[in-house]
Amino acid sequence: MRLRVQAADAQPSHEGPSGADFDPSTQGIIRAVTKQEQFLWIVQTAIIVNAVRLTVGRGAGGDVSDISLTGNWGAISDAIRVSELIPEDMDADTAADDYCTYMLSNQRRAEIQAHGHPLPCPEWFARP
């Protein structure tokens, strides 16, 4: 995955500041997206999609604690901390799957039902 970052002082050449790849057609520096950024984008998207999926079929006035900002704040804010702990040999997709399965309560409940026992927090992001 590659991200285009607009350089404020971009000059039309094939090398950008610090020797980074430069795409003259966009006047932007191209750099690889980090595993941490990939993880955060996947988690952000998963939280949004999960909330939308949970709202389908709900009537007005129902309990929204599992889709509210307050209900998801722990998962949202902790994602920053966890993004810095992803093991070297784990890709962002696997890390995000581990994280969302454990942190999103409806996903955790589904795993518990499927396996018949509580789902432990993955060791790689558990708090000491």
Please write the tens of the pLDDT for every residue from 53-73: 888 776 666 666 666 777 788
Q: Helix, strand, coil % (nearest 5) of the chain?
A: 50, 10, 40
Shared domain for 45 and 102, answered yes or no, is: yes
Per the structure, the complete domain to which residue 21 belongs is given by: 2-32
**Model pTM?**
0.69
Question: Which residue did the predictor score with more confidence, 99 or 16?
Answer: 99
Locate the DSSP E strands across 24-76: 28-32
Flag whether pLDDT at 89 surpasses 60.
yes
Shared domain for 58 and 100, answered yes or no, is: yes
Shared domain for 81 and 66, answered yes or no, is: yes
Residue 62 corresponds to which tokens in the numbers above?
């129902």
**Alpha carbon distance 58, 68 (integer Å):** 14
Flag whether pLDDT at 88 surpasses 50.
yes
